[in-house]
Amino acid sequence: MTARVDASCGSISGKMMGKLYGVGLGPGDPDLMTLRAARLIGAARVVAYPALAGGESFARSIAADLIAAEAREIVMDVPMTVDRAPAQAAYDKGAAEIAAALEAGEDVVCLCEGDPFFYGSFMYVFARLSDRFEVEVVPGVTSVSACAARAGRPLVARNERLTVLPGPLPEAELRDRIGGAEAVAIMKVGRHMGKIRGVFADLGLLDRAVYVARVGLPDEVVCPLAEAPEAAPYFSMILMNKGDDPWL
């Protein structure tokens, strides 16, 4: 996918500008990156990525073996807080640094876990820069697809509908949405595990749900939701389908 507003985006005072690539990395296993993503990262001279403020970058760790030693790195330190203002400020700062590189004629590869436009961090950079610069979005394997594959649980079949829900939703809303859904994927389980498992139990659906954490990584966990640990990482998911072998 390429976004561009008009031909004037191609230059500033006659000087050609660089192109921004939003590259999806997949859920964590470097083997799940697309060939295009790997080629772009390996050739990049400027690489940008988000990191937990004061910590490491999961996105960078996925692509670490592909980043050239001489590549310049733009780190966006994004705090994980309920208040959105600090994260927005971090993306403002990161976008400004990326814009400076693009204006200097340098292409920039921005790394994003999963898929850039499916709960992906790159969408915040895209919103800030796509009206001024040429942008190409390189899709990645989503965590939903990866979790279903590792769990051996087809997501939907025929005319079924898949409902994707974020774990932080209020309990009452989760109950209504799960109760009315045919198939569900709940992302960002983390500290909301107790609430979510309680909803499935109350709805009589606990035995139909599977839990997957840190899919494709060495510490991956796949098990029935009823047997899942009390403490779940942020990168965890619950899948459920109410049908009886709907893929048969």
Through-space distance between the first and last CA atoms of the chain, rounded to whole angstroms: 35
pLDDT band for 15, please (50, 70, 90 cuts).
Answer: low
| Nearest CA among 92, 127, 105, 129 for reference residue 12 | 105
d(CA 83, CA 116): 22
Q: How far is CA 130 from the centre of its chain?
A: 19
Residues 165 and 239: beta-carbon distance below 8 Å: no
Q: Is residue 65 classed exposed, middle or buried when 0-12, 13-18 and 19+ CB atoms within 10 A define those classes?
A: exposed
d(CA 210, CA 148): 9
| pLDDT (average), residues 107-117 | 97
Average pLDDT of the residues of the chain: 91
SS3 119: coil
At residue 134, φ and ψ (nearest 5 deg) are -75, 130
Per-residue confidence (pLDDT) for residue 159, from 0 to 100: 87
Kindly report, residue by residue over 62-78, the tens digit of the pLDDT.
Answer: 999 999 999 999 999 98
The two tokens of residue 188 are 């960002």
d(CA 232, CA 234): 7
Per-residue confidence (pLDDT) for residue 80, from 0 to 100: 76
Per-residue confidence (pLDDT) for residue 55, from 0 to 100: 82
pLDDT at 36 > cutoff 60: yes
Kindly report, residue by residue over 179-200, the tens digit of the pLDDT.
Answer: 999 999 999 999 999 999 999 9
Q: Could you count the other beta carbons within 10 Å of the beta carbon of residue 154?
A: 17
- Domains in the chain and their CATH numbers? 2-138 (3.40.1010.10), 143-241 (3.30.950.10)
Residues 6+ apart with CB under 8 A from 130: 3, 4, 5
Per-residue confidence (pLDDT) for residue 14, from 0 to 100: 52
| Nearest CA among 157, 162, 85, 167 for reference residue 119 | 167
